[in-house]
Structure 1
Amino acid sequence: MSAPPAPGFRLYLLRHAKAGWALPGQKDFDRTLDDTGFAEAGMVAEMAADRGLAPGLILSSPAVRCRQTAEVFRRAMGEGLDIRYIDALYTGADDTYRDIITSQGSLASLMVVGHNPVIEEIVREILGEQAAAIPYGYPPGALAVIDFHDRPQAGILPPGKLVAWLDPKCHVR
């Protein structure tokens, strides 16, 4: 039996891990991961690395909780993994995320670390009925790995296939 063909493009969509509430006078942008968030991000990152699920590039919101989540993944997958921080991923809507994803040239795989509700909206758009496999929304720290037969182009994300769902609340190591 031959191996399945490599996907035209693989997209990793990661919602930042669990963060604490803003302290008095603290901006939402500066919220940090709490202890549970760090632990769950580490667990999901290790599970992804153990399964060979490693992107070619990470694009992250610059919000502190997203930066911390992205760094946990870089440590698990190798310090050589490049992380780029994109301001528009902090406040952008689904069309902004779509444009950022589709403008990444010839990369074979890409991880986007961002915020809800946009991450969930993008996943539901790409997966359509397959999104029923994610019945309880998109929890903090969860990772969807989606393969596309064809590369997304010009702000359009074609239907994709969910090949992995790593949810820290459903996986106990």
Structure 2
Amino acid sequence: MASFGTPAFRLYLLRHARAAWAQPGQSDFDRTLDDDGFAEAEVVAEEAADQGYRPALIIASTAMRCRQTAEPFHRTVSEELSIDYVDSLYSGTVDTYAELAFAERQETSVMIVGHNPMIEEFLHLLVGKEIAGAAAPFGYPTAGLAVLDFDTRPTAEDYGGACLAGFMTPRPAR
């Protein structure tokens, strides 16, 4: 359970915003956000910044909808915020997400912008099904942002002890 002070590490899990259906001949990978998705991405970035949620690094899937979801954080938090685009988030496992989130680096706050079902499974693994289910009772929504605090620096092999510090979505639950 995380303390009330500054966490040793903060992880942000952001599912990409709502995407348009694939056009004929378009791959799933190249799907873009629809109009609602662009609005969701802007709203969640602004709300997160208003609450002081400012990752030091963003690691996003290379899929177009994840790129488009990450971009508003770049504008809202800082133009100097680094965004690393990583292919393996597109079809990676929960282990892939953990390896990327908890890699040895100097940043103490990292945002992962990825896809379901992995974002939801990763949240369940980190905080347990009961807490994750209470935060997102209808499943992990598009543009949903979980904020997880750790009292000690997690590693890809040992990342227990996450505390769900916040969960936001740009629209009301169903």
Task: Output the amino acid matched with 1:44.
Answer: V
Q: CA deviation at 1:165?
A: 0.8
Unpaired runs of 5+ in structure 2?
none
Distance 1:43 1:165 in 2: 14
Give the alignment of 1:78-97 within 5 angstroms. Answer: 78-97=78-97
Distance 1:146 1:32 in 2: 28
Q: CA deviation at 1:5?
A: 1.7
Counterpart of 1:158 in structure 2 is 160
Deviates more, 1:126-135 or 1:93-102: 126-135
Distance 1:160 1:14 in 2: 16
Unpaired runs of 5+ in structure 1?
none
What's the C-alpha RMSD, in Å, of the aligned pairs?
A: 1.5
* Mapped pair 1:136 → 2:143: no
In the alignment, is the contact (CA less than 8 A) between 1:98 and 1:156 conserved in 2?
A: no
In the alignment, is the contact (CA less than 8 A) between 1:102 and 1:156 conserved in 2?
A: no
In the alignment, is the contact (CA less than 8 A) between 2:104 and 2:155 conserved in 1?
A: no
TM-score, normalization by structure 1? 0.93
Give the alignment of 1:62-141 within 5 angstroms. Answer: 62-128=62-128, 129-131=130-132, 132-141=134-143
Distance 2:51 2:70 in 1: 18
Task: Output the amino acid matched with 2:22.
Answer: A
Q: CA deviation at 1:15?
A: 0.2
Distance 1:57 1:158 in 2: 21
Task: Output the amino acid matched with 1:133.
Answer: A
Distance 2:143 2:21 in 1: 16
Counterpart of 2:27 in structure 1 is 27
SS at match of 1:153: coil
Q: CA deviation at 1:72?
A: 1.3
In the alignment, is the contact (CA less than 8 A) between 1:103 and 1:155 conserved in 2?
A: no
Q: CA deviation at 1:77?
A: 1.1
In the alignment, is the contact (CA less than 8 A) between 2:90 and 2:114 conserved in 1?
A: yes
Sequence identity (%): 53
Q: CA deviation at 1:152?
A: 1.0
Counterpart of 1:170 in structure 2 is 172
Distance 1:19 1:142 in 2: 13
Distance 1:61 1:43 in 2: 20
Distance 1:104 1:51 in 2: 27
Task: Output the amino acid matched with 1:152.
Answer: P
Q: CA deviation at 1:154?
A: 3.4
How many pairs does the alignment contain?
A: 169
SS at match of 1:23: coil
SS at match of 1:150: coil
SS at match of 1:165: strand
Q: CA deviation at 1:78?
A: 1.6
In the alignment, is the contact (CA less than 8 A) between 1:120 and 1:137 conserved in 2?
A: yes
In the alignment, is the contact (CA less than 8 A) between 2:89 and 2:97 conserved in 1?
A: yes
Cα distance change on mapping 1:89 and 1:121 into 2, 3 Å: same
